[in-house]
Copies of this chain bind each other. A is one copy, B any other.
Amino acid sequence: MTLATTLKTRRQQLAQHLDAPVLLWSGQSTPRNFPANTHPFRTNSHFLYFAGLPLENAVIHLADGHLTLFMDDATPAQALWHGPSPTRNELAHRIGAGKALPLEDLNRFVDEQVATLRVQDSATVAQQKQLLNRSLAINKQSQQQDLALLQAIVQLRLCHDDHGLTEIRRAAGVSVMAHKTGMTATALNNNLTEAHIRAAMEQVIMAHGMTCAYNSIVTVHGEVLHNNHYHHPLGENDLILADVGAETETGWASDITRTWPVSGKFSSTQRDIYDLVLAAHDACIEMAKPGVEYRELHLLACRTLATGLVDLGILVGQPDDLVEQDAHALFFPHGVGHLLGLDVHDMEDLGDLAGYAPGRSRSERFGLGFLRLDRPLQAGMVVTIEPGFYQVPGILADKGNCDRYANMVNWDRLTQFSDVRGIRIEDDVLITEQGCDVLTAELPTQAHEIETLAAGE
């Protein structure tokens, strides 16, 4: 199926959900330290979904299944510095747009009914607001048609078509190679820092013409959940937690985490916890199928972890009671995963409106509040499954937690696991009619397989 055919089907589906005409902006690049030195441009994801190509400073109009592309052809000066580029008409042909017009014609397509969504760069947001003469925030004052558009797009983008899945599989394939390379690089060299492993992994992504879907986490301090530092040396007894994912040229993401021993061999305590996290991971994948509530997968991971931690003597009590009281969240404070698609947290620019089914909202509970997805699974969804175990000082040293969980944690026993700062195992999972398909299954998860790769054998 050609890109134009895919996009036509998406437009027709949109038209079934929405009467209003739609304008979607691609956005434009943003300055780094001065205007001519920009961050690498990332096209808006909603635009990409319906336009298919990473165009900059372009707009599409969708109405009744018809597509119009607005962009300006390169000027001779631009062609001089940036080389030849396809014309507006050529691009329109590739994406099946019936019409191709310069940006100045946009104002003829604006009326009171037109729906849109706000992009991320402020220069384009200013253009959107000026053209439409209204606010674009997503809140109670939002225009009715913008909310209708948002809901329609969520319905479409929740479940992926063949084109989207092909792209996600491509991204996953390259991410798998990146992780294998990272493990092998650990074995090949001495006196490395986290930066070396990160560089080895991202090189693979870049060499394939892809980019990183998010800022990589490659750290011996896996207990720092959002860690974008890479300066620590790799200690002989450390674990490396690497959360690195590729994004294809047209914006489709993957998201993989593996944790491996620097030495190529888990200590017995590291191995115990690794196997437990893997058990939670495997249990969720076993259970994932259409109709299952994603929140139930999360709770399954919590119960599996709690049970294992009781067996290891770290938690004390009945696993179900412990989960009820969020004791698992002392060691697993985040959700078991999220939607994956054109964004690594798919559609998170819409807040929780994609992740949470209508009428649902975030829990106040310590053990549930960070869950990014609370919907029944449907065939065609891609979600991550990413349980973990972390010893976060900010959680474990918190006075309130120490008091509240005084009798549920064997703090002495816990000290024996001090070489396990953070472990996460994350795969990308497509929900199918029959159950699910792990798109990142080429990358091993078993401890002995990880050891073999990390030992360079």
CB within 8 Å of B: which residues of A? 30-40, 42, 44-45, 76, 79-84, 120-123, 193, 195-196, 198-200, 202-209, 214-215, 221, 223-231, 251, 333, 342-345, 347-349, 392-395, 398
Which residue in B200, B208, B230, B348 is a CB contact (below 8 Å) of A34? B348
Query: Given A209-B231, A215-B40, are A120 and B35 also a contact pair (CB < 8 Å)?
Result: yes
- Residues of B contacting A393 in the complex (Cβ-Cβ under 8 angstroms): 84
Q: List 22 A-B contacts (CB under 8 A).
A: A30-B121, A32-B39, A33-B251, A33-B343, A33-B349, A34-B343, A34-B348, A36-B348, A37-B214, A37-B345, A37-B348, A80-B225, A81-B226, A82-B226, A83-B221, A83-B224, A83-B229, A195-B206, A195-B209, A199-B204, A199-B207, A200-B207
Contact of B226 with A349 in the complex, beta carbons under 8 Å: no
A347's closest neighbor in chain B, by CB?
B34
Interface centre among A122, A203, A348 (most CB of B within 10 A): A203
A199's partner among B37, B206, B342, B343 (CB-CB below 8 A) is: B206
**B33/A120 in contact, CB under 8 A:** yes
Q: Which residue of B lies closest to A48 (CB)?
A: B33
Copies in the complex: 2
Given A34-B349, A35-B120, A37-B215, 14 further pairs, Cβ under 8 A? A30-B120, A31-B121, A32-B120, A33-B343, A37-B214, A37-B344, A80-B225, A83-B227, A84-B393, A200-B203, A200-B207, A202-B203, A203-B203, A203-B206
In the bound assembly, the distance between CA atoms of A347 and B228 in angstroms comes to: 27
A411 to chain B, nearest CB (A): 19
Which residue of B39, B224, B349 contacts A35 across the interface (Cβ within 8 Å)? B349
Contact A82:B120 (CB < 8 A) given known A76-B394, A195-B207, A206-B199: no
Chain B residues with Cβ below 8 Å from A205 are: 199
B36 touches A345 (CB 8 A): yes
User: Which residues from chain B contact A200 at a C-beta distance below 8 Å?
Assistant: 203, 207
Complex CA distance for A443 and B97, rounded to whole angstroms: 50
CA distance A251 to B33 in the complex (A): 10
A202 touches B195 (CB 8 A): no
Residues of B close to A33: CB separation below 8 A: 42, 44-45, 120, 251, 342-343, 349
* Cross-chain contact B193 with A199 (CB below 8 angstroms): no
Give the docked Cα–Cα distance between A195 and B120 (Å). Answer: 27
From B44, B195, B208, B226, give the contact of A208 (CB < 8 A): B195
Alpha-carbon distance A342/B398, docked complex (angstroms) = 41
Q: In the complex, what distance in Å separates the CA atom of A159 from the CA atom of B120?
A: 37
Q: What B residues does A392 contact at CB under 8 A?
A: 80
Taking CB atoms, residues of chain B closer than 8 Å to A123 are 122
Which 6 A-B residue pairs are closest in the complex by CB-CB distance? A83-B224, A122-B122, A199-B206, A199-B207, A80-B394, A34-B349
Shortest CB-to-CB span from A146 to chain B, Å, is: 17
Residue on B nearest A45 in the bound complex, by CB? B33
Name the B residues within 8 Å of A199 (CB-CB): 202-207
